[in-house]
Structure 1
Amino acid sequence: MNSQQCIILGILIATVAMFIWGKWRHDMIALAALLGCVVTGLVPADGAFAGFGHPAVVTVACVLVMSRALQMTGAVDLMTRRLLPSKGGALAAIGILCGLAAFLSAFMNNVGALAMLMPVGLQMAKRHDLPPGKILMPLSFASILGGMTTLIGTPPNLIVSGFRAQTKMGSFTMFDFAAVGIPVALAGLALVVFGRKLVPIRQISGVEGFATGSYMTEGRVEEGSKMVGKTLREVDQQLEDFDAQVVGMVRNRFRVVAPNRSRVLMPGDILVIESDPESLASALSGLGLQLVEAKDAPDESANPSDSESETEDPNTEATAEKPPTDTSEMALMELAVRPDAEIIGRSATDIRLRSRYGINFLALSRQGSRSIRRLRSLKIHAGDVMLMQGPQESVIAFAAEFGCVPLAPRSIRLPDKRSAWLAIAFMAAAVCGAAFGLLPASISFATGVLLCMAFRVVSLRSVYEAIDWPVIVLLGALIPVAGAMETTGAAERVASGLLNWVAQGNAVVGLAVVLIVTMTLSDFMNNAATAAVMCPIALSTAAQLGARPDSFLMAVAIGASCAFLTPIGHQNNTLILGPGGFRFGDYWKLGLPLEIVVVAVALPMLLWVWPL
């Protein structure tokens, strides 16, 4: 192994390790890998950013814009209302909902499809007296399965098609993935619908509200409250009736972590309480506490000592605040934070939630961790569920701007029928143009985006807001890195190792190894990154075995789309983490059987449709 091969493999191993670690965003890691290749001379400086002009990158951006058009015009709402049954059993309802999710994901961004159908799924869970997770996990997995059936269904398919084009065999067409993808998706759908009993129960059936885990909220001890003079131990004893507990307090602008249970409460004290959503109101009223709203106030110090100074009296109102709203117009709504949401890493103070939007941040649900930081200064994470209070229009507008999904029952908006039909027509035309070879996929969908803009189906500003820029940077940066793997011969060396140690020259075993390795990587790192890493290895493996590369590239496409074991493998799995009340280890119970089914169906289908 020469020095260049050692360097590129070292960069690749470090990149994969950083992806799995998850400390940095995927686009940052990919850009660091690209710059590492440039500095070491593996990628020429004048070609470092050539990947951003790759047809796959352009197509991904255009598909995201057209997906936004389908969402914002109400086209998906029209389909949902007409196709989903208002009556019938839970099994039929889940089956139809999952089938609709799979179908939509074949032609639009699967995260967008899930976001549109999640409120429907939650209402369906309430109607059939089911824990929300029993519907949300099958719904998430179904939307992932549907994406593997078409060229535009998921970014890995576009990346695989791009690598095929580099072999001088041309790109895959729109429905080349369907011959294998549809049988795999149907088998997977059957399992997630009939095997929903494998989904862990994280909420007792029959309760009101959603399974969002435990909320962290704040209650103030008012003057004359019956809590004045009581100890925290006595408060905890009363909270046991509501399945709640005190996890922190604020006194005189000082925050106390794990306060002593013998501490006596005084007027103005603020208690940080952990409670289930359905017990939240009862716990506060039972103690006679006043709910504290998260205001636009300066953040307190980040000093991790047992007590910390705040910069503002908790009783002080924020300045430049929106005028009060009639309480009859106020609504409570739960918002799930999407993995790509703008609010991630920011707090209510950072975005001036009350002064800009007139919304109160009342409570937070976060799985897997506990924080006693003040709500107004708490940094939001992906998968969090926030309880917001304000005019419904304001909350919905805030959710749309910052990438959150409303979970509470919402009035179904009246779609713009003209724009909805135009969005459907433009998407269908773009699909047909690419499917029948009239235009390259990138040109066909770019034309569709231009038509959407020209006919005002999607606003000019939202065109750029619809594009998932971290994914675009990820793809544009990793394409040259993957090219360096091929030009240095590193991919061929890795393929030789797999063949000698595992496959031992057997093409069928080699195909299975590529499929399983790709699937395993996609459970812990971004699926687009997985495809970009595995495609050069798959091509080299096929070349050394004397097999057709198509079957190996298709194995990468299938494997990269099947991330079912963890909440971090796919954005959809992260999105349902909070609303479903799930834990990290809940996914494999349904996900592992599903991945076994995928391998069992995909391998013979690959050998039949794309013979070696």
Structure 2
Amino acid sequence: MALPPTPALVVFGLAAVALALFASEAVPPDVAAIGVLVALYVLRPWTGVDADTALVGFANPATVTIVAMYVLSEAVRQTGVIEHVGDAIEAFAHGSDSRLLGAVVGTTSLSAGVVNNVPVVAVFVPMVTDLASRARRSPSAFLLPLSYAAMLGGTLTLLGSSTNLVVSALAADALGRQIGVFEMTPVGVLVLVTGVVYLLTVGRRLVPERVSPSATLAETYGVSARLARLEVREGSPFAGQRLDDVRATVSDAAVDVAVLQLSRDGERYLATRTDETVGPGDTLTVRGNLQAVNEFATEYDLRQLPRQTVSTRDLHLREGRGNLVEVVLPEGSRFVGDTVREANLAGYHNAVVLALKRGDDVRSDGIADHRLAVGDTLLLQVRERNLAELVENLDVVVTRGVGPSQSPETEPEPVFDRETTLVLGTVASVVGLAAVGVLPVVIAALAGVVVVTATDVISPTDAYGAVSWNVVFLLAGIYPLGVAARDTGGAAWVAEQLAATSSVLPIIAVLAVTYLVTAALANLVGNAASAILMTPVAVDTAASVGAETLSFVLAVLFAASTAFLTPTGYATNLMVYGPGGYEFGDYARVGLPLQLLLTVVTTAGIWVVYGV
């Protein structure tokens, strides 16, 4: 087997570094992608990537379309129509687990076919968690199927997933055109139906119920054993200080203790923002392990009260002034990449991080230097108005507890008011105009953004804030790597290895191998990277074996869009990882049979509809 040319080896080396960084999360993926972009240009004598090529991802129609679709998805979210869907699902389920699961999977998948599937899941997670709680069922039973359904629905149309748009853009030269909005729909419907049937039958028996439906937030995070009450003595240096100054002093100290609130004469005050002055006899509620609390009490002359006098009920302030809530960090959250200390939620948002969870790993001690990532779940003590700001800025998604949308003062909105009708009509027009070819997808999507912003349905600030810029930079940064793999002959070399299997396998089997390789990459390093790296390979493989180019391109598209085996394979998997309390292996347990089933179904569907 001949080695690839030297330029291709250089590109392969950069690809290996990028994949290692993505898998290890040593640096944020978008930063790694921009680093690859810079390296491609610096090594241009071998990669052939000049400045224009290095920046082509930023000017690519796929990138611009993704930005526009994030804005349109946010406009749909702000209408509140999804909340009405939740009410309809609850009424339909009427206490039946099967009907609840069917309604969740059905509505999620259909919604994700038109609106980008990541924002869909961000809206559905708290709704599904609440519905599961009302039905006295574990949210774990529904959240993983929710993620899988969103991925399946994303294969219905070109607009359902950013991966679809990237593959279409990369393959445009080889195909002589972009993939049509509904061109993938026949196989997408087959994939969706197969996946839904699996989730409602075999899959539901494999999904573990990791979170007890009766478990309180305190029990889930084990914070009760980490709470203590300390009485302020006459000689304490805290006596006479403002409570928020006390909290800041303790936060800067080496001891791992957090001051949560002050109690005096039956009244409680949050430590993050108050003008109250600490006095002798006042009681401080703190979070910390036994050793840390002992050291803290000794250093600041505080008297420890019996731990059994502390209850997490004490952390709920009266009149809705403060509550315990569980939140998950979605894609695009400002806090992703920061440590808990750097995020400074207490200082900026009056929110104290009591504990955090990544998958089944729960931590309540030593969390200040924990670096936050997409999908991390936090237990917060936070005022409702501050929580509303965090939710509105798309920095967190409330999964359990009292969120701002659940406030009893909130009056029910009509299902179809002027704004809802305008937004849904705009989205339908974008899809329709792009589908019939009146406008290119990117122009139709931008026109939709103009409509919803010019009519004040969504403010320009909210529109910019709705975009997951880390995703945009990830795609734009890694895009030239695919171009370089194609132009240096690297993609052709990999394609030759795949094509060599055609000497012993029929072409449809080579198509299945292409699907499996892409799926494996997607589960290891993410859907975007696998799509960008494998699309040029698919084009060259089709040319090498004399097959239909569109069929091999669609194999990559479907495989990259359905990464079921790991929580890191797709953003929606990460978003349900913490709230569902899943273990890493749960994804393979539920997803492997589905991945293998769809390998057969997708390959056969492509063969029947598009030929090979």
- CA offset at residue 528 of structure 1? 1.6
User: Secondary structure in 2 aligned to 1:149?
Assistant: coil
Q: What percentage of aligned pairs have identical amino acids?
A: 29
Structure 1 range deviating more: 508-517 or 82-91:
82-91
User: Secondary structure in 2 aligned to 1:171?
Assistant: coil
Q: Does 1:358 align with 2:365?
A: no
Question: Which residue pairs with 1:485 in the alignment?
Answer: 485
Question: Which residue pairs with 1:20 in the alignment?
Answer: 23
User: Secondary structure in 1 aligned to 2:324?
Assistant: strand
Distance 1:50 1:147, change over 3 A: same
Question: Which residue pairs with 2:240 in the alignment?
Answer: none
The answer as to whether partners of 2:354 and 2:364 remain within 8 angstroms in 1 is no
Write the letter of the residue equivalent to 2:192. A
With normalisation by structure 1, the TM-score equals 0.81
Distance 1:46 1:208, change over 3 A: closer
Distance 1:172 1:217, change over 3 A: farther
Q: Deviations over 1:268-300 (max 9, x none)?
A: 9999xxxxxxxxxxxxxxxxx964269xxxxxx
Distance 1:376 1:494 in 2: 45
Distance 1:291 1:119 in 2: 29
Structure 1 range deviating more: 18-27 or 355-364:
355-364
Structure 1 range deviating more: 89-98 or 158-167:
158-167
Write the letter of the residue equivalent to 1:33. V
Question: Which residue pairs with 1:199 in the alignment?
Answer: 207
Q: Does 1:327 align with 2:318?
A: yes
Distance 1:401 1:216 in 2: 30
Question: Which residue pairs with 2:430 in the alignment?
Answer: 430
Structure 1: any 5+ residue segments left out of the alignment? 226-249, 257-267, 272-288, 295-306, 316-323
- CA offset at residue 342 of structure 1? 1.5
Question: Which residue pairs with 1:398 in the alignment?
Answer: 390
- CA offset at residue 137 of structure 1? 0.7
Write the letter of the residue equivalent to 1:329. G
Structural mapping, 1:487-566, within 5 Å: 487-501=487-501, 504=504, 506-566=506-566
Question: Which residue pairs with 1:219 in the alignment?
Answer: 227
Question: Which residue pairs with 2:238 in the alignment?
Answer: none
Q: Does 1:92 align with 2:99?
A: yes
Q: Deviations over 1:543-565 (max 9, x none)?
A: 00011101000000110011111
Distance 1:269 1:342 in 2: 23
Q: Does 1:387 align with 2:390?
A: no
Structural mapping, 1:116-515, within 5 Å: 116-194=123-201, 195-208=203-216, 212=220, 214-215=222-223, 218-223=226-231, 255=255, 291-292=285-286, 327-330=318-321, 331-346=323-338, 349-367=341-359, 369=361, 371=363, 373-374=365-366, 379-401=371-393, 403-407=395-399, 408-410=401-403, 411-412=405-406, 414-415=412-413, 417-501=417-501, 504=504, 506-515=506-515
Structure 1 range deviating more: 501-510 or 401-410:
501-510
Q: Does 1:2 align with 2:14?
A: no
- CA offset at residue 499 of structure 1? 2.1
Distance 1:10 1:391, change over 3 A: closer
User: Secondary structure in 1 aligned to 2:227?
Assistant: strand
More helix by share: 2
User: Secondary structure in 2 aligned to 1:523?
Assistant: helix
Q: Deviations over 1:175-230 (max 9, x none)?
A: 111111111111111111222120123134544559955459742352499xxxxx
Question: Which residue pairs with 1:68 in the alignment?
Answer: 74
Distance 1:22 1:153 in 2: 26
Distance 1:12 1:447 in 2: 36
Distance 2:503 2:219 in 1: 46
The CA RMSD over aligned residues, in Å, is: 3.3
> Which of 20, 37, 40 lines up with 1:37 in the alignment?
40
The answer as to whether partners of 2:139 and 2:213 remain within 8 angstroms in 1 is no
Distance 1:24 1:352, change over 3 A: closer
Distance 1:568 1:40, change over 3 A: same
Question: Which residue pairs with 2:58 in the alignment?
Answer: 52
Question: Which residue pairs with 1:238 in the alignment?
Answer: none
Distance 1:514 1:223, change over 3 A: same
Distance 1:127 1:325, change over 3 A: closer
Question: Which residue pairs with 2:276 in the alignment?
Answer: none
User: Secondary structure in 1 aligned to 2:158?
Assistant: coil
Q: Deviations over 1:571-600 (max 9, x none)?
A: 111111111111111111111111112112
- CA offset at residue 502 of structure 1? 7.0
Structure 2: any 5+ residue segments left out of the alignment? 234-249, 261-282, 289-293, 303-314
Distance 2:218 2:100 in 1: 19
Distance 1:216 1:585, change over 3 A: farther
Distance 2:251 2:441 in 1: 61
Distance 1:503 1:562, change over 3 A: farther
Question: Which residue pairs with 2:263 in the alignment?
Answer: none
- CA offset at residue 73 of structure 1? 2.0
